[in-house]
Amino acid sequence: MTFKWTIQLFAGLPERIGVPSLQLQSHDDHMTAKQLKDAVSAVYPDHSPLIRISFIACNHTYAADDTILRVNDELALLPPVSGGEEQSVPAAGRDDLYLITDEPISSDAVLAKVIVPEHGAAITFVGTTREWTQGKRTTKLEYEAYAPMAVATMRQIGEEIAGRWQGALCAITHRIGVVGIAETSVVIAVSSPHRDSCYEASRYAIERLKQIVPIWKKEIWEDGSEWKGHQLGPWNPTVPLTDF
């Protein structure tokens, strides 16, 4: 019996491989994440280096190499992460703390979500499109997200912050689509009872977002473009940050 495996592709992978998702035939209805990546690499050997450093997502969760996957799972191949109507997916409890949107972001609106009477400190991090990077002039950025998993991992960041800094509250909104020069791509708002923990939690949130949230950016220059991935060394979204 033959089983058909479907794997969604994101960021530069559809452009490189030429399809938005892969269809693989196999006699097995289950395999490990590593076996699946090996199978994809065998079909697309020219792209094997990128495939091998990418992660398989299984039902919106990063899968370690030894994770068992089933043919009916929702699967995606995620390259190293980067850092119309509003596209949002509700978070548990509060349904507005973590959003993916293709509309302009109001930093005041995101900050308002974490202002509560028992907190004496709040801070907002705003990420914008920079015009010059290493001597190259960027004309705009283009963001893409695996939206359901992006919201799930942003929620995970909020839960980690609440566990590390007692009482801290976090809200994150990230934009997708085209983001022009000096426009806002991400807003992270954090509040806590005291300012020290607020500063620390805010920095943790942006570093963790770069590590685990499946959002990619395409830098578009005057003379070309390039998808940008994780910039902090070998990418492993399954391990915690150790500098906090």
> What residue ranges do the domains of the chain occupy?
3-78, 98-228
- Secondary structure letter of residue 112 according to DSSP: H
Per-residue pLDDT for 94 more than 70? no
Domain 3-78: assigned CATH number = 3.10.20.30
Distance CA 190, CA 169 (A): 6
Does the structure show a pLDDT above 50 at 141? Answer: yes
Higher-confidence residue: 122 or 86?
A: 122
> Which superfamily is assigned to 98-228 in CATH?
Molybdopterin biosynthesis MoaE subunit (3.90.1170.40)
Separation of alpha carbons 12 and 103, rounded Å: 23
pLDDT in tens, 201-236: 999 999 999 999 999 998 998 888 877 765 445 678
Mean pLDDT of the residues in the chain: 88
* The pLDDT of residue 91: 37
Buried b (16+ CB within 10 A) or exposed e, 131-164: eeeeeeebebbebbbbbbbbbbbbbebbebbeee
Phi then psi for residue 17, to 5 deg, are -85, -30
Q: What is the mean pLDDT of residues 8-26?
A: 91
Please provide the distance, in angstroms rounded to a whole number, between the alpha carbons at the two ends of the chain: 50
The number of beta carbons lying within 10 Å of the beta carbon of residue 85 is 7
pTM of the full structure: 0.79
| CATH topology identical between 3-78 and 98-228 | no
Contact (Cβ atoms closer than 8 angstroms) between residue 216 and residue 229: yes
What's the pLDDT at 202? 96
